[in-house]
Chains A and B, each alone.
Chain A
Amino acid sequence: MTNGLLHPTRRGLLLAGGAGLLTAALPGYVAAQASPIKIGFQLHRTGIGAAYGRWYERTAQAALKAINDAGGITGRPVEILFEDDATDPKRGSEVVDKLTQSDGCDLVMGTLFSHVVMGSAPRAGELKVPYLVCSEGYHVASGALNRWTLQPGITDVRAQISTMAPWVSQNLGKKVTMVFPDYAFGHDHRDFFTAAIQGQGGEVIAQIAVPPTETSFTRYFPQIPAETEVLYHVMVGPAVLTFVKELGEFYGTGAKPQLFGFIDSLEAVDTATPGLEFLEGSHFWEAHPRVKAADAGEHEAAYRAAVGVDDNGASVSDAADVSTYSHMFSTWETLYFIKQAMEAAGYTGPADRQKLVEAMEAISDLPYGIERPQGAKRFNGKTHQVFGSQNISQVQGGKLVKVHTTTIDEGLYEDAVDYTTMSF
């Protein structure tokens, strides 16, 4: 009996068959490996959040390029599909739907405004798609949302505010008057700072809530008690310039309290803008110092170059285009968090979404590096919230100069929820 093409042996047949099967499967395997991971980005391109949205998009694009240049995620290229939600909760929910069901994204990320997060998270939970917000709201850690919603890229406002109290009481004064907008953002500041400053032996001696429709503030200033040592202000929106100008006119050249504010008031606004002179010498919370700090980390320059931001925190192509520097890093860090979790979970496609969330919940320490240019973080898998250090900067010569950095531990608080016990 002769062996050959016409008379193959059994072993030969098995080998040939096996090779054939491998060859047949190879294109599918290669295609699966090469097909991109699609990340849906719920973007505030229009509406009240547009200034943030513009920078969120730029930062996410920069992180995307860096990740793809380094080989993508699990060896696959990554693409981001941006979809405008008009900073509206109803549209936000529709965008989550579109990105997930119509565009086939593996997950959705990027939302900043709290009301859009609140409106969109239920839909993400229904679709069982990971929804990673970059919002700093306390909505995730408070337990108001669901197993599919996480905030891995930015510290929440409760922790941010709480970490400010020790420094304020030790350096600026213990008798604080708060001026805040009379809605959820302002109420978070009112509640968390009042509690935190009491813990430091200080007290809030007056809380002045300003309705969001107000355009002039002169009638509120006489309510500021004379013994006020620190004026804590968190006005936001177009009225900020009027607020600061009128506050300056109210105090004139006489004695005034120390001013402490949150940079949310002045994100995307140049601190040297005419009319803001009254802020000279005052202090602000910043998550990520807009003006490059003297002791900035080794990756700060590379991050700024990648996003296209100069050392003053403005666009390299337009010095008047000031960034939202204390928030936008969250999109960069969230993308790297996704990369880490996907690689840990061996993520291959939407069928692995639950495994992906479990891998995210298992993440804890996130060291400083190019993946986290704002600083090291600690992720709490139970509350789905990340915690990082915060900064305090002083306006000196119209520029923000960092004067203090908190530790991560200062911002930690007891867990209000354990999402890991909830069903998917």
Chain B
Amino acid sequence: MKHWTLHLALIAVLFSAQYWLSPYHATNLARIMVLAVFAMGYNLAFGYTGLLSLGHALLLSAGMYAAGLPAQLWGWSAGPAFIAGIVGGGLVAATLGLLALRTAGVSFMIVTLMFAQAGYLTLLYFAPVTGGDDGFALAPASRTLMGIDLSTDTPRFLTALAIFATGLLLSLALVRSFFGRTMVAMRENEERSRMLGYNPFTVKLAALTLSGLYAGAAGAAYAILFGYVGASFATIQYSILPMLYVLMGGAGTTLGPFLGALVMFALIEAATGLTTAHQFIVGAALVVLVLFAPKGVLGTIRERWVRWLP
């Protein structure tokens, strides 16, 4: 019960944030919640199932383009476009999994990286349709849901919160379910799980597909809420970012991805105000984290003080 209370309390605090944050910070919080959905998906694959992927930019951009292209080409509104984005992320993840899960460990990292790079180059190659590296801005009509303009502050914030809350509660339910424990078993000892009768391939494929659904939802949400679709979201940078968020917040913790995204965002904001060498500060913070809290913030808290943290 306390798990659900904790997560619902966070959602309640985030809901109230629109009343006490400035519009600038509220918009940033909406961005952070969308990025956190992406990181939650990454966490399901990496933090719980042990799949260290370097190709999640492919899944993010799959969702972004699956939502953005129908909106751009056929004028789809936000609702159908968002669903298309989730499905797109899931389908690409399942296809990626069918091929890449024949490998493991370092090979899996390289194969996923390779597929993501191929995806990026594909977006550039089909520039007449995808807009290439320039990308395209979504028309206002495609950013409307049942007559509500999602490009305005409050609807955007509430939509981001709804997507985030759904993702968070589903991930909590998932990791506390039988299947969630099977995912952890794959991470901890794949061979023993196999001996006990589980099929590691199908469990990992299902976890990666779920991860893709989250990444797709985040990509689609970014396109619709912030109005831009571009190939830069398919670059390696966006495969590294969710990993950093998860490592910062705590891999294998349900709240870690949100905390990581929040801390990294705040760190960049604060560092740019201090020095032009802000990336150095962010890098130094990550080195300190790896040295002194390798399990991330919530991972360390769970290890030392709050054992029940999911």
Residues in A lying within 8 Å of B, measured CB to CB: 45-46, 83-84, 86, 88-90, 93-94, 97-98, 101-102, 114-115, 118-119, 121-123, 126, 137, 139, 144-146, 182-185, 187, 211-213
Contacts and interface: CB of A to CB of B under 8 A. Distances in A.
Interface in B63-114: none
Nearest to A212: B124
Contacts of B5: none
Interface stretch (B201-209, B223-231, B290-298): B223-231
27 contacts: A45-B276, A83-B272, A84-B276, A93-B228, A97-B27, A98-B24, A101-B23, A101-B27, A102-B22, A114-B134, A118-B131, A118-B134, A118-B135, A119-B135, A119-B228, A119-B232, A122-B227, A123-B227, A139-B134, A144-B136, A145-B137, A182-B125, A184-B127, A184-B131, A184-B134, A212-B121, A212-B124
Given A88-B232, A97-B27, A187-B132, A46 B137 contact: no
B199 interface: no
A67 B272 CA distance: 27
Interface in B200-248: 222, 226-228, 230-233, 237
Given A83-B272, A97-B24, A122 B137 contact: yes
Contacts of B222: 90
A89 B127 contact: no
B264 to A, nearest CB: 12
Contacts of A46: 279
How many of chain B's residues touch chain A, expressed as a range?
35 or more
Given A88-B232, A97-B24, A183-B133, A213 B121 contact: yes
Interface of B: 22-24, 27-28, 31, 117, 121, 124-125, 127, 131-138, 151-152, 222, 226-228, 230-233, 237, 269, 272, 276, 278-279
Contacts of A212: 121, 124
A89 B151 contact: no
* Residue among B24, B137, B138, B152 with max Cβ neighbours from chain A (10 Å): B137
Contact of A115 (B24, B117, B232, B269): B232
A339 B237 CA distance: 38
A102 B135 contact: no
Contacts of B134: 114-115, 118, 137, 139, 184
Contacts of B133: 114-115, 183-185
Contact of A183 (B28, B127, B136): B127
A142 to B, nearest CB: 10
The 3 A-B pairs with the shortest beta carbon distances in the complex, nearest first, are A122-B227, A101-B24, A184-B132
Nearest to B26: A101
A213 B237 CA distance: 16
Given A97-B28, A121-B137, A89 B23 contact: no
Contacts of B117: 213
B28 A122 contact: no
B33 to A, nearest CB: 14
* Interface SS of chain B: helix
A102 to B, nearest CB: 5
Contacts of A118: 131, 134-137, 228, 230
A182 B137 contact: no
A209 to B, nearest CB: 9
B233 to A, nearest CB: 7
B169 to A, nearest CB: 26
Contacts of B137: 118, 121-122, 144-146
Given A90-B233, A144-B137, A123 B226 contact: yes
Given A98-B269, A123-B226, 4 more contacts: A90-B222, A94-B31, A118-B134, A182-B125
A89 B230 contact: yes
Contacts of A123: 226-227
B230 A119 contact: yes
A183 B132 contact: yes
B230 A101 contact: no
A212 B151 CA distance: 34
B46 to A, nearest CB: 22
A122 B226 contact: yes
A94 B25 CA distance: 11
A335 B211 CA distance: 47
Contacts of A94: 28, 31
Nearest to B228: A119
Contacts of B27: 97, 101
Which of the listed residues A114, A182, A184 has the most CB atoms from chain B within 10 Å of its own CB? Answer: A184
A211 to B, nearest CB: 7
A80 B26 CA distance: 25
A182 B22 CA distance: 43
Nearest to B27: A97
Nearest to B231: A115
Nearest to A114: B134
Contact of B272 (A84, A121, A183, A213): A84
Contacts of A98: 24, 269
Contacts of A146: 137
